[in-house]
A and B are shown apart, each in its own frame.
Chain A
Amino acid sequence: MGLTFSLLLVAALILAVFLGVEALGLSFLFAIVIPYLAIATFIIGFILRVVKWGKTPVPFRIPTTCGQQKSLPWIKQNKIDNPFSTAGVVARMALEVLFFRSLFRNTKAELVDGERLTYQWEKWLWLGGLIFHWSMLIVVTRHLRIFLDPVPGFVRIIEKFDGFFTVDLQNVYITGILLLAAVTFLFIRRVVIPQVRYISFAADYFPLLLIGSIAASGILMKYFFRVDLVAIKELTVGLFSFSPVVPQGVSALFYIHLFLVCVLISYIPFSKIMHMGGIFLSPTRNMANNSRAVRHINPWNYPVKVHTYEEYENEFRDKMRAVGLPLEKDGSEKEAAAAKE
């Protein structure tokens, strides 16, 4: 159901732009109004969400430790998987964000011969995920060429490496292809693996389909239905310099691409894609495991009702005396009863 819903939704979105631009002539809407709205939604939504997270206190120090703690000097501590210092935490987070370290631990459990549990090598999700994200990052960075004039140096360098391969004398950006391949892999995996399919709903298919469609429309524009790049740059630079224009000769394919990107970025703050912010704030990963050495403060720590030693001794004084336990108050049973009042 979630799958059908997402498919229909993405198809409807594509159809909407196509009809909007081709039949209704709403280029202004799709070229200027929606992009501005989308960027505003993205920025404001993203900030609000992160501020909401950031404002919520972290009452306890709860890192998940994945290696030896720092204790006795002669026992080798695992400084990254069980960091004691900020430097360790930074290293741990960097490995998580850049290389998905935890996902790299993944194995696949299988019950062999109906009695033996085995844990098999399974890094495909890690690999697919890593390719997907890195490709996306590079693709997005390359797009700066279209927004910025002059084109920054690092963008040129990235392009050079990314476009290393040529097919028919034309540079092929490998990351674009990889992005599409990886997103396809993630989608197929989600549909085909019964357990993953079982846990998925519309909000899981939708972003994959959306990103897939964006990548596909991009590839179509670049290699198959060439678009008027000069006109497009006029549009984008206009958007970014706050003097928007709607140039002539921009194809519907481009509008589809642009619109889907707008949908994606305005969807981000309300969706699971916020994991890109969440990962940095996750208390099980971004805290040092030094809770016995440095006291962590809980801002809302409040006094609680406890059963004091005095109450305890009052209840058991005679029994304690009988077995020779030291007492605070060596009163008789009656006094004890009185003290209890």
Chain B
Amino acid sequence: MLQSLNVRATLVSLVMLVVLLGIWELANQAPAADKPLTEYEMLMGGADQEARVPPPSAVIDLAVDELSNPFYDAGPNDKGIGIQLAYSVYRVLAGYLLAALIAIPIGFLIGMSPLMYKALNPFIQVLRPISPLAWMPLALFIIKDSEASSIFVIFICSIWPMLINTAFGVAGVRRDWVNVARTHELSALKTAFAVILPAAAPTILTGMRISIGIAWLVIVAAEMLVGGTGIGYYVWNEWNNLDLTSVIFSILMIGLVGMLLDLALSAATRLVQYQE
């Protein structure tokens, strides 16, 4: 039953994909030659050339081309899509792991101590809604390095969901389980690792999953601002080259990598999930 449901869902997905691509392809055919160009169009030198979105066949051609050699490096403005994505993933992971390293212990502290919760809450409430890109000028000024600045921006945007979820998960650990630790005379450290961490792990991992999603959203914008390398820079560069086929291709790649990052975190969440 479930199997046939999956099969049917895949079929429907495929049909939708084909129909969508078909419409896209047909809608973007070169206009028939029987319509004479208007005077204005002639002046603009056949404006339809640029106004047309490239059809999927062109994107697929480019994708095959790019993905057959993703790691070539022919100078600062011509690197393979694999290299650009690797730069972005590296920055995301660096900022993200740094954020996890800080957010999870502090979240633990906040979750365990109502005093720390109340003391830190105003800071969190003010800092959290700030768009991560708003930090960029300050980061560039203080750090004076575009690479480190974009990592900082990732750090600052991915810290909040992890911090808040860790605190929430730790504070919500069932009293009964803490009592089990207490009746067994576990030390505070042992209680934290043997009872509270596993109990709060699913909530913490959910926060980490939200964070990686946000980080991947933000890195594209950050790299557009900072330039140099990375998938965000690549998109912007191809737009400046008016190479829309490459823009569409890189958009799809951004989606694909984002999905893979999310899948990895969801697999990790399943690993620590428990049933009450």
Asked if A and B bind, the verdict is no
B contact set with A: CB distance below 8 Å: none
